[in-house]
Amino acid sequence: MTTKAQINNGIFSAARDDWETPQELFDRMDRQFHFEMDVAATAENTKCMNFYTREMDGLSLPWSRVNWCNPPYGAEILEWCRKADEEAQNGNLTVMLIPARTDAGWFHEYCKKYRIEFIRGRIKFVGAKYNAPFPSMFVFFGKEFENDVYNTARKEEK
């Protein structure tokens, strides 16, 4: 008998960290922000015409004015949040789709000061057999969203 832990470990293991964002989630954000660049993509899963791949090293390159980011979910997520925060301080906006790990140091250091939208339910990433074994959130890294009183889980838009 396969356990839930085996399923979770199998579909979200360290062997793969490039799960593609479901198109409807991206489209909902893109309608509002009109993204110029996908800063953590592959040629196969990018959501924007302009994008950085792992080989290009988006962490070391300048980002555009309005960015989409579904970063690798491993230990390096801290670096992606740090970079998004730096870009926000330079006047750029990045909407990031990440696990809702509110107990993590990177959450408190870099995410908590921006608007956060918790996603109801568990995401089923493109190509995954099962839904993610963790909750997810959007973080809006941008000066206009800093210390935002709207930093709360809200009802899904209909």
Q: In this structure, are strands 136-141 and 93-99 parallel, antiparallel, or unpaired? A: antiparallel
pLDDT score of 11 more than 90: no
Q: Where residue 1 falls among pLDDT bands split at 50, 70, 90?
A: low
Pick the CATH number of 18-145 from 3.40.50.150, 3.30.565.10, 3.40.640.10, 3.40.1190.20: 3.40.50.150
User: How far apart are the C-alpha atoms of 125 and 12, rounded to whole Å?
Assistant: 10
Containing 25, the helix (H) or strand (E) segment is: helix 23-33
Read off the pLDDT of residues 52-109 as tens digits, 9 standing for 90 and up.
999 999 999 999 999 999 999 888 999 999 999 999 999 999 999 999 999 999 999 9
The answer to whether the CB of 64 falls within 8 A of the CB of 88 is no
pLDDT score of 153 more than 60: no
Integer CA distances (angstroms), 53 to 43, 68, 149, in order: 7, 13, 34
The answer to whether the CB of 125 falls within 8 A of the CB of 20 is yes
> Three-state SS for 145?
helix
User: How far apart are the C-alpha atoms of 29 and 73, rounded to whole Å?
Assistant: 20
pTM for the whole structure: 0.84
Say how many C-beta atoms besides its own lie within 10 A of residue 83's C-beta: 24
Q: In the chain, what are the domain boundaries?
A: 18-145
> Three-state SS for 23?
helix
Q: Among candidates 57, 82, 84, 54, which has minimal Cα distance to 68?
A: 84
Section 20-49 average pLDDT: 96
Q: Among candidates 41, 40, 88, which has minimal Cα distance to 66?
A: 88
The answer to whether the CB of 12 falls within 8 A of the CB of 74 is no
**What is the DSSP track for 63-82?**
--SEEEE----STTHHHHHH
